Amino acid sequence: MQFLNTALPLIFMAIMGLAMLAYVILDGYDLGVGMLLPRAANDAEKDLMVASIGPFWDANETWLVLGVGILLIAFPYAHGLILTALYLPVLAMLFGLTLRGVAFDFRMKAGDSKKPFWNQMFVLGSFVAAASQGWMLGSYITSFRTDALTLSFNALIALTVPATYVLLGAGWLIMKTDGDLQTRALGWARLATIPFAVGIAAISVATPLVSEIIFNKWFRLPDFFALLPIPLLSAAAVLALWHVTGRKRIVDAGYGWIVFAATVLVLILATLGLAYSIYPFIVIDRMNVWEAASSTSSLVIIAIGTAITLPAIIGYTIFVYRIFWGKATDLSYGG
């Protein structure tokens, strides 16, 4: 029983982290494609951009439901603290995701006169969802402080998270399209690389400054040298992004996937760094995972449900991506 008391909260924390990382990567690229829609050359390109995410975006959002669901039922005390502090940005995110979902379907059914309006709503919903997630991330990293400097940091992250999603979206379009649209997507990725790097750097600097415990974790010896590969690999991946996005011939040679892969690598490394920083806290310096967790008997029951749900989500995601992999084609609905 003592083993379960210790292990189960950590297991659920790891699953929740995996779910949120999967959401950022998978729903991040389709939010990014949504924000890039105004930069398309014509309606045909816009339709193709939306078609590139059409089969996937419902499955992608499942990871957000899983992550928030685990927070709610496995860590109810943290859920109360976090969601209370983030009530307004969560409301904004839900509004954005709902607007985007409605616009996605309506733009396919609307006539030519109404389609531009729903395109704009799709862009707006994508940006509102992304920016609100950025504000939530900034607030979480700063442990929900409300001083002017913290609010400025939150605003910075609220702008760089959309840039991150735009980079993912551009990388996705590089893989899923060709011709002029692929060339433009390469340019969009290059423009997004700098704010993406700024956001990652800002989070990396701010996290140890928020907490003395986190600062000591990163800068005491010999831990500093053991952790050095994380920032070095991240910097190398950003340099690879900058190199590839400036050379169309690399994409033409079949290596366009490097843009998306390098972005994902940085996000994985950033997640590992953040996980190391905050452990064992679920709210930095305020509540650890065991204090936030449900009772062990409840976690055992939740674990049974998760053991059924998680493989189903992973299997469905793999199935969808296997079926619809390859270059994007026109998306249409009957009726």
**Beta strand extents in the chain (DSSP E only):** 281-283, 287-288
Encode pLDDT of 120-136 as tens digits: 999 999 999 999 999 99
What's the sign of the alpha-carbon dihedral 49, 53, 58, 64?
A: negative
85-119 confidence digits (pLDDT tens): 999 999 999 999 999 989 988 887 776 778 889 99
DSSP state of 280: T
At 285 the pLDDT is: 86
Q: Is residue 230 part of a domain?
A: yes
Distance between CA atoms of 143 and 241, rounded to whole angstroms? 31
pTM of the model: 0.93
> Domain count of the chain?
1
User: What are the phi and psi torsion angles at 297 (to 5°)?
Assistant: -65, -40
Do the beta carbons of residue 270 and residue 306 sit within 8 Å? no
Instruction: Tell me the pLDDT band of 335, cut-offs 50, 70 and 90.
Output: very low
Query: What are the residues whose beta carbons fall under 8 Å from the beta carbon of 114, sequence distance 6 or more?
Result: 106
Do 78 and 283 touch, CB atoms closer than 8 A?
Answer: yes
Cβ neighbours for 226, distance < 8 A, ≥ 6 positions apart: none
Q: In one letter, which amino acid is 112?
A: D
Structure tokens at 212: 């003395």
Residue 331 lies in a domain: no
Please report whether residue 33 resides in a domain: yes
Q: How far apart are CA 109 and CA 28, in angstroms?
A: 25
**Interacting residues of 178 by C-beta distance below 8 A, sequence separation 6+:** 327
Per the structure, the complete domain to which residue 309 belongs is given by 2-323
